[in-house]
Amino acid sequence: MTTPPSQVVLSVEDVTIDTRPAGRKPIVRNISFDVREGETLCIVGESGSGKSVTSMAVMGLLPKDALQVTGGRILLDGEDVLQATPARIRELRAQKVAMVFQEPMTALNPVKTAGAQIDEVLRLHTNLSAAERRQKVLHMLERVHLPDVERIYKSYPHQLSGGQRQRIVIAMALILRPRLLLADEPTTALDVTTQKQILRLIKELQEEEKTAVVFVTHDFGVVSEIADRIVVMNRGDLVETGTCAEILSNPRQDYTRMLVASVPSLIPRCVPVPANPKVLEVVALEKRYGKKGLYRDRSVLAAQNISFTVRKGEITGIIGESGSGKSTVARCVMRLTDPSGGAIVLNGHDIVPLRNLRPMRQHVQYIFQDPYRSLNPRRTIGQSLMEGLLNYGLRETEAARKAAATLELVNLPAEVMNRYPHQFSGGQRQRIAIARAVVMEPDLLIADEAVSALDVTVQAQVLQLFEEIRARTGISILFITHDLRVAAQICNTIVVMQDGRIVEQGAARDVLAAPVQAYTRSLIDAAPAPDWDFQNFRPVSRAL
């Protein structure tokens, strides 16, 4: 992947970005890097590292009242973007730089058709006639490998899938053949299989057009797939730059080392648990949304014929892409959603017919995906932790003692009981949410994408925490995730779901190492960088 010396497209020289009015500490400090023609540069970092702010500065998109570039130069084909007039920047955005954002739904206008939105770009920046423009747009849609381009042209964003929307956004970005493409986490909101396709698409278009690409991401899997060179950022500082191979196989800095090593391995680690008593047995579970009409069936089967068991001390993973029904199953088990059929046997009792859920909820607890929204912002950590205990009649002093002890378990000091959620980082909040569930001493813990919103290093900590809690309390965990790497780290048993059905299930080492079904295999293949062992900084040795 070595590029011959070619022209530098973007050159960021010693850039410092500060809050306005100037704060205590600049957001980004003295960053320098170059991007050449036809090269992909990945900016990698955890949340808060300043990677997005840097890319926004290149586009001239920094919020004027909040952030400003206080030092350095950003040269685009030799022209300093920071000195350019607003009119010139608009011109540059059209002809030289284009941007692709994380969430394609919000990047597109919901009340205009996909075709009209791409057409608008041409109308504003070229003198082509309507017919020529249409021709060009359709051609571009074909180039991003969309099927049935005539129909797509006339479709509104909500009629398209996430992957198709992101293709539209890419088409829009590249139709004017910019010199530089800035992609800010463009695949983070997509499923793995779609992500793989989008990455391939960007690579392909880039090779045709010799576009320079700056790819901002937190995911080292994605990085290893696409990057020529890598810039690692941490808290506003540039930690390390190097070629993809250098960074992945021989990182020089400790921080980079830790970051790379935090990427969970695809190799399943856990063996099946012995034949412990069953904590949860789901039998032929079915969930139908909407009602069957008299003439037409408008209902959607979100889950059908779902059967699996979770034994004591076992971590069972349900994996699948979005829309596969994995969350529906989890919510049914918690009875946050009422199942339409089947049985959910918890500790020997079917909980489907239950009307009073209180006694059952003592034994099952749920951890939500978003730690920012699952804690009531108006209540202190202590109040949140003690709420469940008090509900089940524990005395206040006793509850406080238990809550404090549980906080220690998740590695937070007991003094934080009087703090409010907004004073904690995402990872800390998720640890608090876990403590809130664990303090109830449930038999079964349901973790619904509980680590998906977290940075890799934090993710690794939280996964380890789950492992510790399981070892200490013998708890069973139902672990819902879309991330095979995470599942491989923590699950004993794995259930693979697709379109509301179970495709394959079995011990993690069997399902992940030797999948029987084609769908499971495609999921594993789509996982970024399946053949790189991040922990050991070398390719995976297939000998197990």
Partner 1 sequence: MTQTPAPDTPIPPARDLPEMDSAAPDGGFGALVRGVLSSWPSRISALVLGAIILMAVLAPFLGTTDPVAINPALRLQGSGPEHWLGTDSFGRDVYSRIVYGARISLAVGAGTVLVSLLFGVFFGVITGYFKWADIIVMRFMDGLMAIPGILLAIALVAISGATLTTVLIAISVPEIPRIARMVRSVILGVKNEPYVEAASVLGTGVWKMVWRHMLPNTVAPLLVQGTYIFASAIMTESILSFLGAGIPPETPSWGNMMADGRTFFLLKPELILYPGAMVSLTVLSVNMLGDVLRDRLDPRMAKRL
Residues forming contacts to partner 1 in the complex (CB under 8 A) are: 249-250, 257-258, 261-262, 334, 336, 357-358, 361-362, 364-366, 368-370, 373-379, 387-388, 391-392, 411-413, 415-416, 419-420, 423-425, 427-428, 431, 433, 436-437, 440, 457-458, 460-461, 464-465, 535-538
Sign of CA dihedral 105, 106, 112, 113: negative
Comparing CB distances to partner 1, the nearer of 296 and 378 is 378
**Is-contact 193 522, C-beta < 8 A?**
yes
Minimum CB distance to partner 1, residue 360 (Å): 9
Nearer to partner 1, 183 or 367 (CB): 367
The least distance separating partner 1 from the CB of residue 130, rounded to whole angstroms, comes to: 41
CA distance 238 to 436: 37
Closest separation between CB of residue 187 and partner 1, Å?
Answer: 24
Phi/psi at 394 (5° precision): -80, 150
Minimum distance of partner 1 from residue 219's CB (angstroms): 17
Q: Give whichever of 164 and 369 is closer to partner 1, judged by the CB atom.
A: 369
Least spacing, CB of residue 245 vs partner 1, in Å: 13
- Which of 456/503 has CB closer to partner 1? 456
Q: Which is nearer to partner 1, 66 or 516 (CB)?
A: 66
- Cβ nearer to partner 1, comparing 37 with 240: 240
Q: Give the closest residue to 233 by CA, choosing from 249, 205, 214.
A: 214
Instruction: Report which residue type is found at 237.
Output: D
Long-range Cβ pairs for the range 382-390 (8 Å, 24+): 382/417, 382/418, 384/421, 384/432, 384/436, 385/417, 385/432, 385/435, 385/436, 385/439, 387/436, 388/436, 388/439, 388/440, 389/439, 389/440
- How far apart, in Å, do the first and last CA atoms of the chain sit? 29
Strand order in the sheet with 278-289: 300-311, 278-289, 341-346, 349-350
Q: Specify the length of the chain in residues.
A: 544
Instruction: Please check whether residue 58 is in contact with residue 16, taking contact to mean a CB–CB distance below 8 angstroms.
Output: no
Closest distance of CB 426 from partner 1, Å: 12
**Whole-number minimum distance, CB 258 to partner 1, in Å?**
6
Q: Which two tokens stand for residue 147?
A: 């099927």
Pick between residue 118 and residue 352 the one whose CB is nearest to partner 1: 352
Tell me how far, at minimum, the Cβ of 384 lies from partner 1, in Å. Answer: 8
Q: Which is closer to partner 1, CB of 73 or CB of 419? A: 419
Amino acid, single-letter form, for residue 210: K
**3-class state of residue 316 by DSSP:** strand
